[in-house]
Structure 1
Amino acid sequence: MALVGTLHHQAAVERLRSSYAAIAPEDPVRLAKKTSNLFRQRAASVGPGLDVSGLGGVISIDPVAQTADVQGMCTYENLVAETLKLGFIPYVVPQLRTITLGGAVTGLGIESTSFRNGLPHESVLEMDVFTGAGEVVTCAPTGEHADLYATFPNSYGSLGYATRLRIKLEKVPAYAALRHVRFHETDKLSAAIAEITESGEWQGERVDGLDGVAFEPGEYYLTLARWTAEREAEPSDYTGMDIYFRSIQEKQTDLLTVHDYLWRWDTDWFWCSGAFGAQNPTLRRFWPRRWKRSDAYMKLLALDLRFGIADKLDKRAGRPERERVIQDIEVPVERLGEFLDWFDDEIGMRPVWLCPLRASRDWPSYPLVPEKTYVNAGFWGTVHVGPDRVNAPKNRAVEAKVHELDGHKSLYSDSFYDRDTFDQLYDGRNLAAVKKRYDPDDRFISLYEKAVARR
């Protein structure tokens, strides 16, 4: 995919404006977009949506300034394809190929560089946001629209949609050398995370990427990535028969191209491809490579939800009904052990993905303490709970525990907070004030209505 250029971008923004004008004032405003990385149900779309069809590319790259101007609907797969040609990557590249840059900023994203680079919005220098007033506003950390810039992360389209973002890029060599370090106790795991986050090193060796997996109680791994220009071994390929997450338990060291490192989790949707048989050696041998990617599994999941396939199989086998527990949460690093112990007792789902992060400043809609180390825990699956699944007992328990541990929960999946708690956690007062300024007629659905009421 070639760079789209400024003229193409301007034409696409005008189409967006026109599509917005065609939506009746009483109708909800949504993107006319077929794919999504959200896991919460939404009300069925009514009428036309916002035309963002021309906003999926990279406008320009400045290798001297190490920046890129990128359209809001550009997927990270397309963005990385362009930046790697020049030896750069975005500061943070979320794990799944079809996550868009605008989506990662307005809906949060995270990956192994977040322990030193924060979340994707921290490397945004400025952005153009299409607001509820039908205007494109350029906002930056300072200036007239600094309130929109600060509040936009974790607003999920309730304040507008990013049409252009200028982001910082990081220079990288060709390879990522990995070390998989095992820990048996959570206190030592947490101490190692804190040390690496503070120093950027482990045992005297630089760490450029840091994430981990909790496989079982007493079996925890941190994967330490180091950018290198040296081909220190034959690079591994996890797009064929080999499976990346299993290699963590099997190898102490590994080497990937930077490209393959960035998408190491996408091929098997972390470990979730197993639900579709893609990890069965016999099936995997014939599973097309083009279908070994997260968006293909998302389509299979949508079919399952539409026709209730798993529910019917459970009923036939006499198994209790399942509750989907698909969440990403953050807790302070010193409380990670408490959370994992509780999670084992109350939820009992493994593996759990671990990803440390730090925020460089306060972001009102997702207020983490600046320069404090948190650990994201990601867990995605189902738990047999029986008829009580309609009340989502496990998800509600996760919310309560994370709140108790001074953490936060991402809003891409089901949420059940009451309004007062939600406003306390996500600074509802500030969200309402900024929304009133940039969406005076209340055209866009509020964050609470999107995340909890599922409008």
Structure 2
Amino acid sequence: MEAHKKAIAKIAASVRYFFERNEPYRIFHGSTNSTRPYQRNKTVDISALSNVLMVDVKSRTALVEPNVPMDRLVESTLKHNLIPPVVMEFPGITAGGGFAGTSGESSSFKYGFFNRTINSVEMTLANGDIVTASEQENADLFHGASGAVGSLGITTMIELQLVEAKRYVKTTYYPVQSIASAIEKVQKETLNTDLDYVDGIVFSKDHAAIITGELTDDLPENTQVQRFSDAKDPWYYLHVKDRTCSATSPITEYIPIAEYLFRYDRGGFWVGRSAFEYFRFPFNRFTRWWLDDFVHTRMLYKALHASSMSKNYIVQDLALPYATAEQFINYTAESFGIWPLWLCPLRQSPSPTLHPHFLEKEADGSLKPMLNIGLWGWGPSQQDIALMKNRELERKLREFRGMKWLYAHTYYTEKEFWDIYDRTWYDELRKKYHATSLPSVWQKVKVNETVDRSWSAWFLALWPIGGFWGIRKAIQSGQYLIARNSTWKLRDKPVEK
């Protein structure tokens, strides 16, 4: 903790320097799972805050710094037979990113967004003050900073809730043959109190799989566990597709807990296939094995940023009421033709909030749940057409009473943005906590629509130069070594002596 205090003092001094000069700054945490462009000038570096400080078995809590990624967090808590209630599926997403952004995962139908499993946060305000925010202390900041993408201050420490871990997730795949049936099945399964996880993959208009998970220590006799982390293992979405393509009844298998939590890492759900398409390279079991180092999410994000191809790629998470989800999927199928889609049921956060929300309530007064639709795939190659299609997507989303995650490209005008979110509430928080010198949430997420006509942008746009440059920068990052050396893959495997 002493090292943490020294690091915080240094960060606070740097923040105070900018505050006294009334200069905005950005936060550099060392890695990103956002697809927004980022800048390094006028930056406060918090990349050293990457430690699990404590796991308390008695209280079932963990004290972590913001740059702790999910795989390191899970490795630390599993030693005590505990896990966070909500674990982001990508191992490189950090605890701080989950709080400052929006993270809804397959357990979020039960627990809500990641921030709803946090007891308290330590923050450095924009004037350099260090405060604690929780339900009992600075509660308005505690709720407001969640989803505000660092626009109210810097998160420097988090106290997370933990729950008991089990050895396996009993995973069941329910094949369905229509979008309407998939949505209906997701909603039905979220009412099953025995379940710990629910999500779904829509492969096409007539093939989907709804997936449920139950934590268990019991492995039926003569049952072989299914893994997804080794190069020889299948990519998860392809495995589910193969198991359900001709099935007419549910299929159940047992997956070691950490393998389940990070099941979508290899292939980045399915967007890793786009790299094979870009290079016009064969996509089969052998090539996926051969190029395994390059298709984990950390490497994919590094390559995506460096290649500048993110501007031609649709990476959007969109939350809608169940009542309009089918209509919205029909729209995306016609307008974008992107498959598969991810379905993730969500428990809403109370308003006001910067997370996706809508205000309809159940008969008992609770907020109605939402359905997250993950739309990830190639968009138009021409920048003007890509801009038009993204703007159209945002308009259609509002038409269907939905809202989007702010980690991705956001094209709203300032007026459009604040027609969606509660500006009065947000501005009052910024004034109260001395954050008016910081970029606002809209300023941080808004995409610069100016066409980059530099020689470097022109050069990177040439096929396949941009792709090879992205690979080069990803290799230089050394991120592939993290997946190779992850110890969570050893759980339930015999350890060689």
Q: With structure 1 as the length reference, what TM-score do the two structures score? A: 0.88
**1: CA distance between counterparts of 2:206 and 2:21?**
56
* Corresponding position: 1:218 with 2:230: no
Change (3 A) 1:248 1:181: same
For residue 297 of structure 2, what is the aligned residue in structure 1?
A: 294
CA contact (8 A) 2:227 2:256 kept: no
Deviations 1:304-333 (A, max 9, x none): 22xx6x9xxxxxxxxxxx842210000011
For residue 285 of structure 1, what is the aligned residue in structure 2?
A: 289
For residue 235 of structure 1, what is the aligned residue in structure 2?
A: 225
* Corresponding position: 1:188 with 2:181: yes
Residue identity matched to 2:205? P
**1: CA distance between counterparts of 2:98 and 2:352?**
14
**2: CA distance between counterparts of 1:386 and 1:163?**
40
Match of 1:108 among 98, 102, 112: 102
Match of 2:92 among 93, 98, 113: 98
Deviations 1:326-376 (A, max 9, x none): 100000112211111111112211111110011253342224445311110
Structure 2 residue matching 1:330: 3-state secondary structure: strand
**1: CA distance between counterparts of 2:421 and 2:163?**
30
Structure 1 stretches of 5 or more lacking a match? 1-5, 201-205, 311-321
For residue 374 of structure 1, what is the aligned residue in structure 2?
A: 370
For residue 364 of structure 1, what is the aligned residue in structure 2?
A: 353
For residue 34 of structure 1, what is the aligned residue in structure 2?
A: 30
Matches within 5 A, 1:397-436: 397-436=392-431
**2: CA distance between counterparts of 1:258 and 1:299?**
27
* Corresponding position: 1:354 with 2:354: no
Deviations 1:134-160 (A, max 9, x none): 1111111234x1111111121001001
For residue 166 of structure 1, what is the aligned residue in structure 2?
A: 159
1:388 Cα deviation from its structure 2 partner: 3.1
Matches within 5 A, 1:140-179: 140-143=134-137, 145-179=138-172
1:293 Cα deviation from its structure 2 partner: 1.6
CA contact (8 A) 1:104 1:120 kept: yes
**1: CA distance between counterparts of 2:188 and 2:28?**
45
Match of 1:383 among 366, 371, 379: 379
Match of 1:328 among 317, 336, 349: 317
Structure 1 residue matching 2:302: 3-state secondary structure: helix
CA contact (8 A) 1:67 1:167 kept: yes
For residue 255 of structure 2, what is the aligned residue in structure 1?
A: 256
Structure 1 residue matching 2:88: 3-state secondary structure: coil
For residue 316 of structure 1, what is the aligned residue in structure 2?
A: none
RMSD: 2.2
**2: CA distance between counterparts of 1:303 and 1:385?**
17
CA contact (8 A) 2:64 2:157 kept: yes
1:22 Cα deviation from its structure 2 partner: 4.7
Change (3 A) 1:34 1:61: closer
Residue identity matched to 2:210? L
Structure 2 residue matching 1:444: 3-state secondary structure: coil
Deviations 1:392-445 (A, max 9, x none): 1221121111111111101111111122221122212211110111125x3311
For residue 268 of structure 1, what is the aligned residue in structure 2?
A: 267
Residue identity matched to 1:122? R
For residue 15 of structure 1, what is the aligned residue in structure 2?
A: 10
Structure 2 stretches of 5 or more lacking a match? 244-250, 360-365, 450-497
Deviations 1:217-252 (A, max 9, x none): 111211111111022322222232311111112222
Match of 1:337 among 304, 317, 326: 326
Change (3 A) 1:197 1:51: same
CA contact (8 A) 1:30 1:50 kept: yes
Deviations 1:188-207 (A, max 9, x none): 3222222222333xxxxx32
Alignment coverage as a number of residue pairs: 425
CA contact (8 A) 1:60 1:70 kept: yes
**1: CA distance between counterparts of 2:143 and 2:429?**
10
Instruction: Work out the percentage of aligned pairs sharing the same amino acid.
Output: 24
Residue identity matched to 2:269? F
Matches within 5 A, 1:73-92: 73-92=67-86
**1: CA distance between counterparts of 2:385 and 2:263?**
33
**2: CA distance between counterparts of 1:356 and 1:363?**
20
* Corresponding position: 1:244 with 2:236: yes
**2: CA distance between counterparts of 1:109 and 1:257?**
23
Change (3 A) 1:296 1:323: closer
Structure 2 residue matching 1:39: 3-state secondary structure: coil
Deviations 1:162-190 (A, max 9, x none): 11111211112110111111112333322
CA contact (8 A) 2:183 2:326 kept: yes
Change (3 A) 1:192 1:284: closer
1:121 Cα deviation from its structure 2 partner: 0.7
**2: CA distance between counterparts of 1:199 and 1:175?**
19
**2: CA distance between counterparts of 1:83 and 1:199?**
27
**2: CA distance between counterparts of 1:330 and 1:355?**
9
Change (3 A) 1:385 1:74: closer
CA contact (8 A) 1:72 1:161 kept: no
Change (3 A) 1:437 1:410: same
Worse overlay, 355-364 or 370-379: 355-364
Residue identity matched to 1:378? G
CA contact (8 A) 1:193 1:333 kept: no
Residue identity matched to 1:427? D
